[in-house]
């Protein structure tokens, strides 16, 4: 765990494309940062909080930047839900990068943030030193197929409970939420006790964003990303790319391989004891893997 004495933190808000976004920046307490990494949270509709283990990267000499995407966390929530889209998220990231004068960056995207990072790279890869996905995806249909496969491996009683309430559209029934938690404990975060940052993110999930883009939960994707698939475009990405995920990830190793196989020269790393959040589950190994990859690509 990075001690506060090892880093300096800046918190603020910046107007991006007409709306105020909340950000946090961590820099090493000593010396000039050797690079900047922007960390994109998932959801869509989560906040940056669950990604805070990445502050550890400041210990390795990096400037670490987080922001809550439009409508998420502590950022402004617009009334117009049409603004919640991958395409706008790409432009938001680019405008944020410019407004914060970050220069060329290392970009890490977690879960949906990985899809956003890949989409950004397809348009703005000239501003990237490297690209990293952690539990990321390029194809929502493939991801949903894989999640459904994982659901079929759950205990029969859990499957029956899920099916009952999904058929009724009763996604907030306590019995259904308890059944979903069985899935989450296997494939979202395999820790007996979830860290407070993860709990905070789950409690403060932006319903306007999540329901518009995703749906009622992780595997019921019925929002505007339902058919999103950029797999056939990934070959255009030429920046150094690291694809990471967990052995038990809800965004399965098959999804990770589909990204890796379509980006020439990319590196694939699977964390054998992790699910969707290896930065919590195998924190030390994850941070060493990520920092070493960025170290190799600082001069690009």
- Using pLDDT thresholds of 50, 70 and 90, give the confidence band for residue 101: very high
Alpha-carbon distance of 158 to 156, in angstroms, equals: 5
| Tens-place pLDDT, residues 112-145 | 999 999 999 999 999 999 999 999 999 999 999 9
Q: How many independent structural domains does the chain possess?
A: 1
In the set 85, 111, 139, 258, the catalytic residue is 111
Beta bridge partners of 131: 107, 241
Res. 109 pLDDT band, cuts 50 70 90: very high
Report the CATH number at residue 91. 3.40.50.1820
Q: Model pTM?
A: 0.95
249 is catalytic: yes
Q: Give CA–CA dist 157/161, Å, rounded.
A: 6
Question: Which is catalytic among the residues 41, 48, 54, 276?
Answer: 276
60: containing domain: 4-296
On the CB side of 100, CA atoms within 13 Å amount to 29
Is 111 a residue of the active site?
yes
* Active-site option among 49, 56, 68, 249: 249
Q: Which residue has the tokens 């090493």?
A: 28
């Amino acid at each position: 765990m990075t001690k506060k004495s090892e880093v300096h933190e800046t918190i603020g808000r910046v107007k991006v494309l007409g709306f105020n976004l909340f950000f946090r920046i961590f820099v090493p307490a000593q010396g000039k940062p050797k690079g900047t990494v922007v960390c994109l949270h998932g959801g869509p509709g989560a906040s940056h909080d669950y990604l805070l283990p990445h502050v550890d990267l400041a210990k390795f000499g990096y400037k670490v930047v987080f922001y809550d995407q439009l409508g998420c966390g502590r950022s402004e929530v617009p009334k117009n839900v049409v603004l919640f889209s991958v395409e706008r998220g790409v432009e938001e990231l680019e405008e944020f990068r410019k407004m914060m004068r970050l220069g060329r960056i290392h970009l890490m995207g977690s879960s949906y943030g990985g899809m956003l990072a890949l989409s950004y790279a397809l348009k703005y890869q000239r501003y990237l030193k490297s690209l990293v996905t952690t539990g990321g995806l390029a194809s929502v249909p493939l991801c949903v197929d894989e999640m459904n496969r994982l659901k079929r491996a759950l205990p029969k009683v859990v499957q029956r409970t899920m099916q009952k309430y999904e058929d009724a559209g009763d996604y907030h029934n306590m019995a259904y939420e308890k059944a979903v938690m069985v899935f989450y404990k296997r494939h979202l975060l395999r820790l007996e006790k979830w860290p407070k940052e993860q709990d905070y993110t789950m409690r403060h999930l932006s319903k306007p964003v999540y329901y518009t883009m995703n749906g009622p939960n992780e595997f019921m994707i019925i929002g505007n990303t339902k058919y999103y698939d950029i797999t056939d475009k990934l070959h255009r990405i030429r920046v150094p790319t690291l694809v990471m995920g967990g052995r038990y990830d809800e965004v399965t190793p098959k999804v990770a391989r589909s990204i890796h196989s379509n980006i020439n020269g990319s590196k694939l790393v699977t964390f054998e004891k992790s699910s969707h959040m290896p930065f919590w589950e195998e924190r030390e190994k994850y941070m060493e893997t990520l920092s070493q990859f960025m170290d190799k690509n600082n001069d690009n």
